[in-house]
Structure 1
Amino acid sequence: MHRRVLLAAPALLALPAHAQPWSPDRPIRILVPYTPGAINDTLARLIGEKMGDALGQLGVVENRPGASGSLAIAATAQAAPDGTTMVVANTANLTMNPFLFANTGYDPQKDLTPLATCARVMNALVVPANSPYRTLAELVAAAKANPGKLSYASSGAGSSPHLAAELFRHRTGTDMAHVPYRGSAPGLADLIAGRLDFSIDNLPNTLPHVEGGRLRALGVTGSERDPTMPGVPTFQEAGFPGYEVYVWFGFVGPARLPAPIRDRLADAIIRIANGAETAERIRRAGATVWTRNPAEFAVLIGEELRKWGTVIRAANLRIE
């Protein structure tokens, strides 16, 4: 008996090493596809600063803007699959850019490993405060009666607000004129001045103007009403079933990331995002905590690629 225990000892001693969960051996680099101040950047910093408690290593944020976010995503795709490089991507980066640009430098389903989503924001369709349109149905009726005459602003060709409006146009069978701007602020300024008919923009961008009485919200693009504008119906409530648009944000790593590393990172991101302090700070940034695990995130990417691919091809959009 004593001899058998001694013979088994090496194997018993080896078990803890194999049973230990993966831990990074150096700080985790979190790439951000945009400049500081963007919501991707805010989320990267909120999650990164808590990684020391969750994983034993801090998340170090590195802003790498350019090519509508594609530079940071491509750099992540090319990184070693060791768990020390990830990027905070959004809907546009992963499911719109592949159809808009000839070469983004990555395939979102082949070159990346989905880890976890952490937040999302819905959009609101807004019109000037003195607009004659008080419902989505009235706006659509006017667009059908006057093809090509109604105009809408966006934060740029191929941006998520632009494509949200294209999806609306596609679903309603209307012809409306797109007026792209360099960012949301100048487009909303012209909308407030009455130079345009409407815009579908991220709720954090439109809410201050709605609350200030400068714009009127006709609908929100979420699956349910937003608590900041409880009197504004969803598109589905307003008679447009199946129209739902969120801009979501999630962490992805390079392809071939080993499952133990993937799962440990995903668990840390989800637990940090759902923590009371981080969740409140995400809410103050204008977003809602919304977490999905690696398998659910992969399904989401596939569904959104199909949806936005259809919209972009139908609109014949291409950015050189």
Structure 2
Amino acid sequence: MPLARRGLLAAPALLALPARAQGPASPWAPEKPVRILIPYTPGAINDALGRLVGERFQEVLGQPGLVENRPGASGSLAIAATAQAAPDGHMLVVANTANLCMNPFLFANTGYDPRRDITPVAVVARVMNVLVVKAEGPIRSVPELIAAAKAQPGKLTFGSSGAGSSPHLAAELFKAKTGTDITHVPYRGSAPAQVDLVAGRLTMSIDNLPNALGHVQEGRLRALAVTGRERDPAMPDVPTFAELGFPEVEVYVWFGFVGPAALPAPIRDCLSQAIIRIAQLPETAERITRAGATVWTRDPAQMGALIAAELDKWGGVIRGANLRLE
């Protein structure tokens, strides 16, 4: 998820954690620093969230959170390493929708089964996607886009940040639910795809909203619909797909922390409560919002249900599009 972390990290020194947020003494506390693996290189929102939460661990848990970037295999490498770690609470990974709920269907062997090999701990934030076209192009609405695609099967194109990425699969979901045939053009990251879309070399993209927001605000791209359940405050005039008659085109990329399988409940719950408290602090929430994400917290049980629902959803989309990556 190539969202810039500058807005999250370039901020004044954080205030001390309010005493009321610390809660009663926990039955568990880490005996050494907690390693927080990041599945991507520095600059991704996973990286920013891991650092933002990790820097408060000392105050909340009595041990620091040590962030370690471990990119590779589309985010799967760090998840697999965490799945194989000792279930003692001293290793977590900042996971997201793509590496937990899409990769298992895209790759022959990710090294982990998200239903069996990890323990959900906490979700902290999410972003929605937005369908964008060239601002000065002929397509000005979703019905016009669908009509053009059906009139020219396979002729229109959509760009994404890479094969199997969440923008790619969001567009595949759109195609499936609208009965359209639009050709995928994968890029190495969101930025070059946005450049070609602005230049008119692509028809559309359905990208993470923060990646497209600047282009929309500056008049280079036109936003046609957002994939959230409700309109996004950053684009209040842009309708949701549900408003346009396509409620199943709902896509959020969420970010959370998971640990190894068999993580004991007292450890899991202590970590979950600490991470959620940190995410909900006003100064933390403000920095997350500034980066284009929304604070959205879920406890272990809620995160487990979310993972199960997303696996069912994206498994169907990926099988339906006959996608497989090496």
SS in 1 for 2:102: helix
State the alpha-carbon separation in 2 of the partners of residues 243 and 20 from structure 1.
41
**Counterpart of 2:306?**
300
1:265 to 267, 271, 279: 271
Structure showing greater Rg? 1
Find the aligned partners of 1:311 and 1:292 in 2 and give their Cα distance. Answer: 24
User: 2:207 & 2:313 partners in 1: Cα distance?
Assistant: 18
Task: List runs of 5+ in structure 1 lacking aligned partners.
Answer: 1-18
Distance 2:161 2:26 in 1: 47
Unaligned residue ranges in structure 2 (runs of 5+): 1-24
Counterparts of 2:104 and 2:206, CA distance in 1: 22
TM-score, normalised via structure 2 length: 0.92
Q: How far off its partner does 1:67 sit?
A: 0.3
CA contact (8 A) 1:117 1:297 kept: yes
**Kept in 2: contact 1:136–1:218 (CA 8 A):** yes
1:253 aligns with 2:284: no
Superposition deviation, residue 20 in structure 1? 5.5
Query: Structure 1, residues 141-197: CA drift from partner, whole Å, max 9, x if none?
Result: 111111111100000000000000000001111111000000001111000000110
Partner AA of 1:65 in structure 2: P
Count of matched residue pairs? 302
| Aligned residue runs from structure 1 range 160-309, under 5 A | 160-309=166-315
| Deviation for aligned residue 1:242 | 2.2
Structure 1 position 94, deviation (Å): 0.4
Residues 271-320 of structure 1: CA distance to partner in whole angstroms, max 9, x if unpaired? Answer: 10001111011111211000000000000000000000000001110001
Asked whether 1:73 is paired with 2:90, we answer no
Aligned to 1:38, which of 27, 38, 44?
Answer: 44
Paired position in structure 2 for 1:141: 147
Aligned counterpart for 1:29 among listed residues 18, 35, 39 = 35
Q: Aligned equivalents of 1:189 and 1:90: distance in 2?
A: 26
* 2:26/2:270 contact within 8 Å kept: no
Contact kept in structure 2, 1:137 and 1:239, CA below 8 Å: no
Cα distance between partner residues in 2 of 1:96 and 1:181? 18
Structure 1 residue identity aligned to 2:284: T
Conserved? CA contact 1:124–1:218, under 8 Å: yes
Partner of 1:118: 124
RMSD: 0.8
SS of aligned partner of 1:234: coil
Q: Per-residue displacement from partner, 1:196-255 (whole Å, max 9, x unpaired)?
A: 100000011000000010000000110001111110001111221222100000100000
The structure with the largest helix share of the pair is 1
Q: Distance in 2 between the 1:56 and 1:241 partners?
A: 45
Give runs of ≥4 in structure 1 deviating > 6 Å: none
Corresponding residue for residue 92 of structure 1: 98
CA distance, structure 1, for counterparts of residue 293 and residue 66 of structure 2: 22
Taking structure 1 as the reference length, the TM-score comes to: 0.93
